[in-house]
Chains A and B, each alone.
Chain A
Amino acid sequence: MPLRLPFRLIPRAQPSQRMLLIAPLLAVTLTLVVGLGIFAALGQNPLVAFRVFFIDPVSDINGVSELLLKASPLCLIALGLAIGFRANIWNIGAEGQMYLGGIFATGLAIHFHENGGPWLLPAMILAGAVGGALWASITAFLRAQLRTNEILVSLMLTYVADLLVKYLVYGPWQDPQSNNFPFTVSFSDDALFPVLMNWWDWLEGTRINLSLLITVVAVPLAWLFMDKSFVGFQLSVAGLAPAAARYAGFSEKRMVWIALLIGGAAAGLAGVTEVAGPIGQLNDRWTPGYGFTAIIVAALGRLNAFGIVLAALLMALLYLGGEAAQISLQLPKAISQVFQGLLLMFLLGCDVLVNYRVARRMPANALVNA
């Protein structure tokens, strides 16, 4: 066989707690080694490059605030997705569900632009969650009733959602003062998440806002739901052993609905935190790709609520680092992407150490002699 490696993997009885920590460190080290070669080949000092990439972006309050601002929606979406992924329900259309959350919230913000009140933002949050869940419910309905594949439907609906945003901002929702450019009015203060620096002076100049609270609350809730609730248990069983789940009488249709509605609602919430957060309006090119990135975040976080928090922070840092590398080192964006891809591959690869033990393979002829 062509694939005889000098080692073999032996499954562990229990996932290794030690390796849970060591594996990511090993991945970072490997990325550093490969990155060393790449940066050196580009004539950059690799150590400076790494400092720019990983440390500079979060070396001040503003940097940390930006990190949280970017990680928060990623984390929120990934938590929702993880619930479905555990049940083998592959919602890859969180991006579209996020747009719908943004659309629903924007609808309220525009309609009550002149006569808002303290109730407006909570109403928008609710509307956003409903919007995302409604969009996901199309996928859920087709999957539960007709067994139509959710990967395809949720992905296709993302393209439709994108066009729906465009239709609205080029048409009925366009700001009359916009010179026919595609955006809505800027939301009134009632329709925006308050920025935290209003309360704490030491956050002066940062953009971090109250929407972070949604994610902070969602993390323990998601953990309780996934790891401690009976429904969460049912979902996991349905994913790991579908036959056993059927035998135990867990309704598959119910699982599909729960997984997709939660995923959609979470993505919708993330949409609200963006349009009512740092953007403050809806426009046609609001496509940060969080819904797709969150899929990586969920998998990288091993579908565990706290793992997802770490993974979201890491992905956010990779983005900020990529920007910093362009600004400080004049490296092209592509090299940051290469770097991100490498690190992700190494992280995924090194995860093998958690569940497997590496042993040296005995030479083939040793077996014969024995």
Chain B
Amino acid sequence: MKTWKHAAASLAGAAALLAAPLISHAAEPLKMAWVYVGPVGDGGWTYAHDLGRKAAMKALGDKISTTIVESVPEGADSERVIRDLAAKGNKIIFTTSFGYMEPTLKVAKAFPKVDFYHATGFKSDKNVTIYNSRMYEPAYLAGIIAGHVSKKGILGFVASFPIPEVVRNINAYTMGARSVNPKITTKVVWVNTWYDPGKERQAAEALIGQGADVLLQNTDSSAVLQTAQDKGVNAFGWDSDMTAYAPKAHLGSAIEIWGGYYTKVAEAAIAGKPLKTTVWGGMKDGMNDLVSISPNIPAAAKAVVAEKAAAIKSGKVQVFTGPIKGSDGSIKLAAGKTLTDKEIDSVNYYVEGVEGQLPK
């Protein structure tokens, strides 16, 4: 009933409203916008970004107002959406997928007064800042747990596409496990999609069928974790805390935490000193973590993970520290050295212990 009254009332004021501009200029909160590649309800990548946006809103209240556009294809449409957001008076625009890189750069040229933040890319500009998260750090910790928990010494990884981000997560997971048990190997299955629960499940089944007993995935759904629970093996959550999906199988979740960064960007802009340096944040910066670690893992594992996590957070330990051997046996990095960010960001080989060859 109420809704119909509402409708009637709005009909009455129709003519006036049709003429009125949509954007009011009363109190001026900072207008921020997010462009998402998937739906907010994907439970993974986009969901994590939206949690970040909500955290910023909670922290800053009416100092900011936010707009989202979800499921924006990475073809010709994204440029229009980004341009529209800039034209509608948004001062800060986050474009949260790799494929938005060129459109973001193009639109940024036309709107020099708007600050753009592009996630996971590698090209910046005066008003385009890159930000990314070192998910390989929690992946490494997950590997340590897997190394303790795995009975057969075989880990499984369900991978999406052979881009550096995914490859380094596979490497970090394997290196973490081998730091505990040098005999461990990782089997990788590529599903060629970010989100297809059916395929992700079949990939997990194939890995489990080949003896893998602790799984990690770099895809968006929780299907791998659920499959692990059905088949009586263990797995991790990815992007967001997935404990609730499979409490028995779940060993921990490697999560993205964007809220702190989004809040910082907003605060800096409000203070008139916009953040313009590339941020590639890790656990040290609170941009990701391994959370909800299962209480059932061995005490030794708990101790090692806690120690390594502290070392990573304090900056004492880098994940990609030599010696690193490639899966073909070649030396990729000498002992004592660490990979530079540039090297990490363009990695194109598997480390020792990962089976098979990187798809080309």
State if A and B touch, Cβ cutoff 8 Å: yes
Tell me whether B80 and A180 are in contact (CB under 8 A). Answer: no
Tell me whether A283 and B73 are in contact (CB under 8 A). Answer: no
Cβ-closest chain B residue relative to A280: B102
- Which residues in window 51-74 of A have CB below 8 A to B? 51-52, 56, 62, 66, 69-70
Selecting from B2-10, B221-229, B239-247, B276-284, the interface stretch reads B2-10
B59-95 toward A: CB 8 Å interface, digit per residue (1/0)?
0000000011111111111011101110010000000
Chain A residues positioned under 8 Å from B40 (CB to CB): 332
Chain B residues positioned under 8 Å from A52 (CB to CB): 22
Q: Known interface pairs A163-B192, A327-B84, A333-B39. Does A40 touch B76 (Cβ–Cβ under 8 Å)?
A: no
- A-B pair count, CB < 8 Å, reads 119
Tell me whether A166 and B192 are in contact (CB under 8 A). Answer: yes
Chain B residues positioned under 8 Å from A323 (CB to CB): 69, 72, 77, 80-81, 84
A279-315 toward B: CB 8 Å interface, digit per residue (1/0)?
1110111111100000000000000000000000000
A73: shortest Cβ distance to chain B, in Å?
9
Tell me whether B7 and A180 are in contact (CB under 8 A). Answer: no
Interface residues on A, range: 35 or more
A54: shortest Cβ distance to chain B, in Å?
12
Tell me whether B345 and A179 are in contact (CB under 8 A). Answer: yes
Let me know if A274 is at the binding interface, CB within 8 A.
Answer: yes
Cα-based distance from A297 to B76 in the complex (angstroms): 19
Chain A residues positioned under 8 Å from B192 (CB to CB): 163, 166
Let me know if A328 is at the binding interface, CB within 8 A.
Answer: yes
Q: Known interface pairs A181-B98, A324-B84. Does A285 touch B69 (Cβ–Cβ under 8 Å)?
A: no
Let me know if A278 is at the binding interface, CB within 8 A.
Answer: yes
Chain A residues positioned under 8 Å from B83 (CB to CB): 62
Cα-based distance from A66 to B79 in the complex (angstroms): 10
Tell me whether A326 and B69 are in contact (CB under 8 A). Answer: yes
**Of B13, B71, B80, which is within 8 A of A333 by CB?**
B71
Tell me whether B346 and A277 are in contact (CB under 8 A). Answer: no
Q: Known interface pairs A179-B345, A180-B348, A182-B161. Does A285 touch B7 (Cβ–Cβ under 8 Å)?
A: no
Chain A residues positioned under 8 Å from B80 (CB to CB): 66, 207, 320, 323
Chain B residues positioned under 8 Å from A356 (CB to CB): none
Let me know if A46 is at the binding interface, CB within 8 A.
Answer: yes
- Which residues in window 1-52 of B have CB below 8 A to A? 3-4, 6-7, 10-11, 13-14, 17-18, 22, 33, 39-40
**Of A36, A45, A70, A330, which is within 8 A of B68 by CB?**
A330
Chain B residues positioned under 8 Å from A186 (CB to CB): 102
Chain B residues positioned under 8 Å from A280 (CB to CB): 102
**Of A47, A48, A62, A327, which is within 8 A of B88 by CB?**
A327
Q: Known interface pairs A171-B360, A181-B98, A327-B88. Does A40 touch B10 (Cβ–Cβ under 8 Å)?
A: yes
